[in-house]
Amino acid sequence: MDKAFRNKRNFVKIFLDIFSIFFSSLLITYIMFEEFRDQPIKIAFLYAFSYAVFDLLKNEVGTSWQYTDSRDVLEIIKLNLYSTISAFALGKLLEFHSWRILALVFSFSTASMLLLRMIFRLQRQGNISPKERRKNRENTLVYGAGEAGNTLIRECRANRNFEYKIRAFIDDDPKKYRTIINGIRVYGGLDTIEEAIEEYDITTVIIAIPSLDNKIINDIFKKIEKIPNIKIKKLPFVSNLIDNSLTNQIKDVSIEDLLGRDQVEINDGSIKDLIHNKVVFVTGGAGSIGSELARQIAKYEPQKLVTIDVNENDIYFLELELKRKYPNLDLVSEICNIREKEKLEFLFNKYRPNIVFHAAAHKHVPLMEHNPEEAIKNNIFGTRNVAECANKFGVDRMVLISTDKAVNPTNLMGASKRACELVIEHMNEVSKGTKFMAVRFGNVLGSNGSVIPIFRKLIKEGKNLTLTHKDITRYFMTIPEAAQLVIEAGSIGNGGEIFILDMGKPIKIYDLAKNMIRLSNAKVGIDIVGLRPGEKLYEELLYDTNNAIKTANKKIFITKIDKGNIEIDKYFDELRECTHNPDITKIKEIMKKVVVSYKEVKYE
């Protein structure tokens, strides 16, 4: 029914536009040009026909009249110009023409079309009583008096359901200070934001510069964080809008927005060379990193993308998402446990991948401390299975997703991931042609089981956030940033490298927790519960800044790590044996032989 209504509405709109140009040309020809009075209908039809053709070709019929802005006005002028010139050229061939007719038809038809759109906008606003407009709207300060900010003003005036009452602008351009834009005052710069909030009794601040640097968002947040009951929101990129209306599309500023990291710069060319027209495997494809890898890979038009996981629900939903966004993507979702080498061999033989991104792993430190045999079976032997299949079936490259917890590990999960790196290094030495490499990075904001979703869940439940230590710090990056850098690292590797991603500055988890509480306006506190077994207070840098090898990307480094003359293949039998009758003490003893940097830490 909605579709039928839209089609009917679009028909009415194109009819009104065609009638405007038809009537304009008919009237002008008949009244002002005696020499053409015998053929006004023919001339009017010619101009109207020409406009209809160009309108349909440019698909302007679907444009909303209620939200007409300067860009729409420009498109109408261009469309009328093309159609009238075209009609004039046809008229010249048919031996009735006049430059004066063309100029006047263009002017009058453009004016009438803009008048129609203005009537639609005024009619929409006229349906909203002043009382209705004021009802339950939040006093709002907008940061950014540019095009996006003006879009908010138009929405505020045209949409009865818009819940924000725009009182003033803040902008970083001194030329706009104290000016009036669209009837709204530009109060000043960021240094005046607190004063503006007090003067206008502001309850919401909307950032209307979608491309604003996260560091500036952080500055805005710090300016207002001590003011009670202030909400801070942001406008999405225009390309991300679902439709012309902004209702329900203004989003809360998230903790990721406050991370303050520099924009990631990647080499699109090298990534495209790696992915385009290739068969790509992503193990752990349903997980946080694996699913984002799949999203990033899909952009570069692989010949086939195969996601592999045991989590059927999440991999199914990922498939639905990718097929909606990339209808031409050849995507296959396979349910497979990386411990099952027979199934892996079947998949490698069936699809013959060119590149493998290995993200499947157990990663939760406390769980792996309690179930160390699972870390060995899944992380170490699962990685070995994937790597041996990659070598056997002639894969070009295999990229292991590793972790900062593999650096001088203090827990079994970290030790198992360091062992995975040893597997990759060993396979690169014995490989017949496959290039094996690993990429290390730290905590990823918003990944499954990480601190952010845990905190969000506690806030939603109205419970205090639990923190192991007030001074604990961690390195963070966003999921898309990590995935992009992993793919680029895979494109520049020659085999045997351990790539390290620059994680920026460490973040104090206590500050992160406070900011999350402030952003959500929650009435909860923070409980300190003490460090868990195997947990570090401060994470070490992933690389030695003096010895790390730089790459073309300033955020990607290569580290050379002394294995301590350990040949991991000599320990496979012992590791497998200890998983059959799990003995945590015995497992730790063997792991300390395999990973010489593993030093167990116990806290009272």
Give me the DSSP letters along 105-121: HHHHHHHHHHHHHHHHH
Residues 69 and 180 in one domain: no
Cβ atoms 57, 64 nearer than 8 A = no
Position 270 scores a pLDDT of: 85
Position 246 scores a pLDDT of: 60
Residues 178 and 278 in one domain: no
For 378-393, how does the pLDDT look when each residue is reduced to its tens digit (9 = 90+)?
Answer: 999 999 999 999 999 9
Q: Is 292 helix (H, G, I), strand (E, B) or coil?
A: helix
Residues 68 and 208 in one domain: no
127-141, 371-385, 536-550: the lowest-pLDDT one: 127-141
Helix residue ranges, H only, 375-446: 382-392, 412-430
In a domain, 192, yes or no: yes
Position 154 scores a pLDDT of: 78
Average pLDDT over residues 9-38: 68
In a domain, 529, yes or no: no
Residues 134 and 120 in one domain: no
Q: Which amino acid is at 431?
A: S
For 175-197, how does the pLDDT look when each residue is reduced to its tens digit (9 = 90+)?
Answer: 999 888 888 999 999 999 999 99
Q: Residue 26 pLDDT more than 80?
A: no
CA–CA dist 135, 133 (Å, integer) = 6
Q: Is 140 helix (H, G, I), strand (E, B) or coil?
A: strand
Residues 61 and 204 in one domain: no
Confidence of residue 214 (pLDDT cuts 50, 70, 90): confident
Residues 208 and 317 in one domain: no
- The DSSP line for 149-197 is HHHHHHHHHH-TT--EEEEEEE-S-GGGTT-EETTEEEEESGGGHHHHH
Among 176, 405, 417, 555, the one annotated catalytic: 405
Which residue, chain included where needed, has tokens 């290039």?
435
Q: Is 400 helix (H, G, I), strand (E, B) or coil?
A: strand
Q: Is 555 a catalytic residue?
A: no
Distance of CA 273 to the CA centre of its chain: 23
Task: Determine the longest span between alpha carbons in the chain, in angstroms.
Answer: 106
Q: What stretch of H or E contains 358?
A: strand 355-358
Residues 68 and 167 in one domain: no
Average pLDDT over residues 483-512: 87
Q: Residue 212 pLDDT more than 70?
A: yes
For 504-528, how does the pLDDT look when each residue is reduced to its tens digit (9 = 90+)?
Answer: 777 888 888 888 888 777 888 998 9
46-50, 170-174, 207-211, 281-285: the lowest-pLDDT one: 46-50
Q: Residue 169 pLDDT more than 70?
A: yes
> Which pTM was predicted?
0.65
In a domain, 64, yes or no: yes
CA–CA dist 603, 533 (Å, integer) = 6
Give whole-number Cα distances, 244 to 62, 67, 154, in Å. Answer: 11, 7, 11
Q: Is 498 helix (H, G, I), strand (E, B) or coil?
A: strand
Position 417 scores a pLDDT of: 95
Domain limit, last residue, from 220, 253, 286: 253
Position 262 scores a pLDDT of: 59
Average pLDDT over residues 522-546: 74
Position 355 scores a pLDDT of: 98
Tokens of 312: 């059927």
Confidence of residue 149 (pLDDT cuts 50, 70, 90): confident
Position 253 scores a pLDDT of: 76
CA angle, 373 then 382 then 357, to 5°: 140
Q: Is 83 helix (H, G, I), strand (E, B) or coil?
A: helix
Residues 352 and 243 in one domain: no
| Position with higher pLDDT, 228 vs 267 | 228
For 84-124, how does the pLDDT look when each residue is reduced to its tens digit (9 = 90+)?
Answer: 777 777 766 655 556 666 677 777 777 877 787 777 766 65
Q: Residue 1 pLDDT more than 60?
A: no
In a domain, 368, yes or no: yes
Position 6 scores a pLDDT of: 47
Domain limit, last residue, from 103, 126, 149: 126
Tokens of 261: 């990291």
Tokens of 68: 């007409």
For 427-455, how does the pLDDT look when each residue is reduced to its tens digit (9 = 90+)?
Answer: 999 998 999 999 988 777 766 667 878 88
**107, 108, 111, 114 alpha-carbon torsion, rounded to 10°:** -110
In a domain, 575, yes or no: yes
Residues 186 and 48 in one domain: no
Domain limit, last residue, from 126, 158, 181: 126
**Highest mean pLDDT: which range of 24-38, 110-124, 446-460, 529-543:** 446-460
The CATH number assigned to the domain holding 374 equals 3.40.50.720
Average pLDDT over residues 12-20: 74
In a domain, 516, yes or no: no
- The DSSP line for 405-424 is GGSS-SSHHHHHHHHHHHHH
In a domain, 455, yes or no: no
- The DSSP line for 213-226 is -HHHHHHHHHHHTT
Q: Residue 604 pLDDT more than 50?
A: no
In a domain, 493, yes or no: yes
Average pLDDT over residues 32-45: 62
Give whole-number Cα distances, 491 to 268, 271, 352, 390, 561, in Å. Answer: 10, 6, 19, 17, 21
Residues 245 and 384 in one domain: no
CA–CA dist 358, 244 (Å, integer) = 40
Position 517 scores a pLDDT of: 84
Residues 247 and 193 in one domain: yes
Average pLDDT over residues 575-604: 84
Position 327 scores a pLDDT of: 93
| Position with higher pLDDT, 393 vs 13 | 393
CA–CA dist 510, 526 (Å, integer) = 8
Q: How many distinct helices (H) and strands (E) make up the chain?
A: 21, 22
Confidence of residue 132 (pLDDT cuts 50, 70, 90): very low
* Residues in CB range of 561: below 8 A, 6 or more apart: 421, 498
Residues 118 and 134 in one domain: no
Tokens of 598: 């593993």
How many domains, in total, are found in the chain? 3
CA–CA dist 133, 122 (Å, integer) = 14
Q: Name the residue range of residue 110's domain.
A: 2-126
Position 240 scores a pLDDT of: 45
CA–CA dist 254, 438 (Å, integer) = 31
Tell how strand 476-478 and strand 556-559 pair up: unpaired
